Amino acid sequence: MTMSPAFKVTLRVLTGLALLVIYVPLLLVVLNSFNASQTFAWPPEDYTLEWWRKAVDSQGAKEAVVTSVQVALIASGISLVLGTMAAMALQRYRFFGRDTVSLLIILPIALPGIVTGIALNNAFRTVFGLDLGFLTIVVAHATFCIVTVFNNVLARLRRMGTNLEEASADLGASTFTTFRLVTFPMMRSALIAGGLLAFALSFDEIIVTTFTAGAQQQTLPIWIFNNLFRPNQAPVVNVVAVVLILLSVIPIWISQKLAGPTDGLAGR
């Protein structure tokens, strides 16, 4: 694009500033995990590894991580199945109410989390008569994770077209064989990208979780929130935060290996 040089420089400077604002808070969290002051006095006067040692020994944090991983794995599994089915139906068929269905799929994420949270809380307890617990967290998480898988698979199906599937059917392959040998392999990377996003979304969710978790289940975000305002625990929370920042590199690395720059990651 032929922009004036001054304008280009302005854009570059603004982008640089934005990135600075994006990363300074995260770097500060990392730095504070070594800050000897329990209240994170600024600038740090002394550095310590004590918080890291305490975090490694923290039973509560470890149990919360296990719960969060279990919930995220099951919820993304369910959303992979349901999201793929919905995407195939919407991409391959024209039917009455198709627009409504696509709106319905983004609804759990387009509506504020608090609404989804309280609606499910109310339905679980009064309509289904369930006690809040592990199961209710999983169901709630799967509900808002479907859209991430759906978006990824839909985009992939759109690009794939139907030629290869038709060729497979013409050559005598059954519906299932075609899916197993043709459709599925072509969708695989979209499924991984969608599944990763679903996992991350579930792992990080707190608002809906607060309303659907029982008193016994603590996911990691709930554990963090419960300990955030306790002066003794704050430095341990800070270390957990650093670990989460470092771990977030893994899904990004995987999805970059899988796809182009924006592919599969844009939609929440």
Partner 1 sequence: MTSVSEGTPEQVSRHQVSTVLHRRPRLRLGLLIGPPMLWLGVAYLGALGALFITSLWGQNPFTGDVVREWNLDNFRLLFESEVYRTITIRTLGIAALVTVVDIVIAFPVALYMAKVASPRMQRILVIAVLTPLWASYLVKAYAWRIMLSENGVISDLGGLLGLDTPGYGLTATVVTLAYLWLPFMILPIYAGLERLPDSMLEASMDLGAKTGHTLRRVVLPAVFPAVVAGSIFTFSLSLGDYITVKIVGGANQMLGNVVYDNVGAANNLPFAAAVATIPVVIMLVYLAAARRTGALENV
Nearer to partner 1, 7 or 49 (CB): 7
Q: Interface mask (CB under 8 A) for partner 1, residues 135-174, using x and -?
A: -------xx--x----x-----------------x----x
Of 46-54, 58-66, 186-194, 235-243, which part binds partner 1 (CB under 8 A)? 235-243
3-state SS, one letter per residue, for 155-203: HHHHHHCCHHHHHHHHCCCCHHHHHHHHHHHHHHHHHHHHHHHHHHHHH
Q: Residue 122, interface with partner 1 (CB under 8 A)?
A: yes
Of 48-56, 118-126, 130-138, 180-188, which part binds partner 1 (CB under 8 A)? 118-126
Q: Give the footprint of partner 1 on residues 59-98 (CB under 8 A).
A: 81-83, 85-86, 88-90, 92-93, 95
| Cα torsion 93, 94, 95, 101: sign | positive
Q: Which residues of 27-40 are buried (b: 16+ CB within 10 A; e: fewer)?
A: eebebbbbbeeeeb
Q: Give the footprint of partner 1 on residues 19-38 (CB under 8 A).
A: 19, 21-26, 28-29, 32
Residue count, binding to partner 1 (CB under 8 A) = 96
The two structure tokens encoding residue 63: 């149990």
Structural contact between residues 240 and 224, judged by C-beta atoms closer than 8 angstroms: yes
What distance in Å separates the CA atoms of residue 127 and residue 197, rounded to the nearest whole number? Answer: 31
Q: How many helices, marked H, and strands, marked E, lie in the chain?
A: 13, 0
Q: Counting every residue, how long is the chain?
A: 268
Nearer to partner 1, 186 or 206 (CB): 206
From the CB of 265, what's the least distance to partner 1, in Å?
6
Q: Residue 251, interface with partner 1 (CB under 8 A)?
A: yes
Nearer to partner 1, 93 or 171 (CB): 93
Q: Residue 215, interface with partner 1 (CB under 8 A)?
A: no
Q: Give the footprint of partner 1 on residues 169-208 (CB under 8 A).
A: 169, 174-177, 200, 204, 206-207
DSSP state of 138: H
Structural contact between residues 120 and 205, judged by C-beta atoms closer than 8 angstroms: no
DSSP state of 4: -
Among 42, 161, 162, 216, binds partner 1 (CB under 8 A): 42
